[in-house]
Amino acid sequence: MLDAFLTFINQHKLDLKKQPCLLTVSGGVDSVVMLDLFHKAGFPAGIAHCNFGLRGEDSEGDEQFVQQLSDKYGFPFYTKRFDVKSLTQKKGISTQMAARELRYAWFEELRTTHHYTYIATAHHANDSLETTLLNLVRGTGLSGLSGISAINNHLLRPLLLATKEEILGYATENALPWREDRSNDSDDYKRNQIRHQVVPVLKQLNPSLESTFIQSSAKLSSADRLLKEVLDEWAASIVVKTGDQVRISKAGLMSESEPAYRLWHILQDYGFAYAQVGKIVEGLNGISGKIFQSASHTLLIDRQDLIVRKSTVNEVDYYIQIEDNQQTAEFAGQCISLTKKSSNTDNNFVNSPNSVSIDYDKLVFPLQLRRWRLGDAFQPLGMNGRRKKLSDLFTDLKMDHFAKQQTQILVNGNDEIIWVVGVRLDERYRITESTQQILQAFLSTHE
């Protein structure tokens, strides 16, 4: 088994003599065998052991056992006791999930503090098979069918090419001691149900199930990587990221085969499930404006594009008060710079969406900067005497839902709209020949 272990390391082009690993050792046979292999190979390592205190005296015995192993092999030893129950109550998650979250956070802390390159876990081929079967039951894509990856960032699983039977055989042959976790015999956990009830039936159909799975897993992993390369290259041609928004061309998407799978490839990073993606694709030829939510992002079906942005909590309506001689007003990652000057100092009164010149003498302070509201109306620059609802203006400008949502208005002390910020000035506040003083307002975005 040592030869197979070294072959695995070489296949993945790892130089573990120069890249020390933090070995996660529970005291079970898998982690003990991993520890012995690292020692025999002469790879530098440290040992990390978690004591969750969930098994009473057995937990204490596990910690003492692993500490004795560290003394025997001459590796640095790290241990920590965790309060799993507090985290389960705080977050409302299972004991298993809480324990996983706590231990991996601690492993990463140890890795960076003590300069280990990898965190090595003792997952083996049977674990990978069980993971694949669980993913298949829950619903998964191609990556979920390829099992556990050998290397994932700083996580290393050097025993994946070994079966449980091979690990037990190595431990017995080398007279290695280990601790048994009696919770592994219980069917209270889904993984144990797979291990004790499903896998034995599959092995009756194929006695070489684990070996076959290792080969299939390698093929599926290769196919998944190849497919991602192709889809990433294609996605780059139809996806544009601007600021906090992602735009996906509807035409570019619908001109290809399997649009739902292609879209899911893009959207899965934003928390959208495959079932949602199917409904999004169904709505592409419908009326624009439909919105879909994931746990973290919002997607808008607009006229030409799908627009994705991180979801924000709806804030209570608010306003910012602007006093006379105030030089800046900041809101929602943007800033309005205000400069007062005499009309005879600058004859350039050109207005743009982001820079406006306002007749200062018509202002009643304090001004207000607030969100636009349904029913708001003003006189757009160039439309003498004609009022227009902001909602109609936004429709004319073909503004999408997100752009409307972000729009602010600058309001005079007499409740008249002075400027639809970043869109248009009100006709009543433009510079004329009789203007004596000017307030120049410039909109900028914080990087």
Task: Classify residue 105 as exposed, middle or buried by CB count within 10 Å of its CB (0-12, 13-18, 19+).
Answer: exposed
Q: Are strands 245-249 and 239-242 parallel, antiparallel or unpaired?
A: antiparallel
Residue 80, pLDDT score: 93
Residues 6+ positions from 287 with CB-CB distance below 8 Å: none
Tell me which residue has tokens 């290769």.
222
Task: Classify residue 50 as exposed, middle or buried by CB count within 10 Å of its CB (0-12, 13-18, 19+).
Answer: buried
Residue 96, pLDDT score: 83
What span, in angstroms and rounded, lies between the C-alpha atoms of 199 and 146?
17
Q: What is residue 195's DSSP assignment?
A: I
Q: Specify the range with the lowest mean pLDDT, choosing from 85-89, 153-157, 368-372.
A: 85-89
Residue-wise pLDDT for 15-26, tens only, equals 999 999 999 999
Determine how many CB atoms are found less than 10 A away from the CB of residue 285.
Answer: 9
Q: Specify the range with the lowest mean pLDDT, choosing from 31-40, 115-124, 280-289.
A: 280-289
Mean pLDDT of the chain: 88
What 3-state DSSP class applies to 192? Answer: helix
CATH code 3.40.50.620 region(s) in the chain: 2-217
Residue 332, pLDDT score: 66
Average pLDDT over residues 221-240: 95
Average pLDDT over residues 384-411: 85
Residue-wise pLDDT for 169-212, tens only, equals 999 999 999 998 766 655 557 888 899 999 999 999 999 999 89
Most confident range (mean pLDDT) of 6-10, 43-47, 382-386 is 43-47
CATH code 3.30.465 region(s) in the chain: 237-310
Q: What letter represents residue 105's amino acid? A: A
Q: What is residue 145's DSSP assignment?
A: H
Is it the case that residue 311 has pLDDT exceeding 80?
no
What span, in angstroms and rounded, lies between the C-alpha atoms of 63 and 46?
15
Please check whether the domain covering 2-217 is classified as CATH 3.30.43.10. Answer: no
* CATH class of domain segment(s) 237-310: alpha beta
Residue-wise pLDDT for 75-94, tens only, equals 999 999 988 888 787 777 78
What span, in angstroms and rounded, lies between the C-alpha atoms of 404 and 8?
56
Domain 319-445, CATH among 3.40.1350.10, 3.30.365.10, 3.50.40.10, 3.40.50.360 = 3.50.40.10
Centroid of chain to Cα 59: 34
Answer whether the bond into residue 366 is a cis peptide, omega within 30°: yes
Backbone angles phi, psi at 355, to 5 degrees: -145, 120
Asked whether the whole model's pTM tops 0.75, one would answer: no
Tell me which residue has tokens 């149900």.
193
Residues 4, 99: contact at Cβ < 8 Å? Answer: no
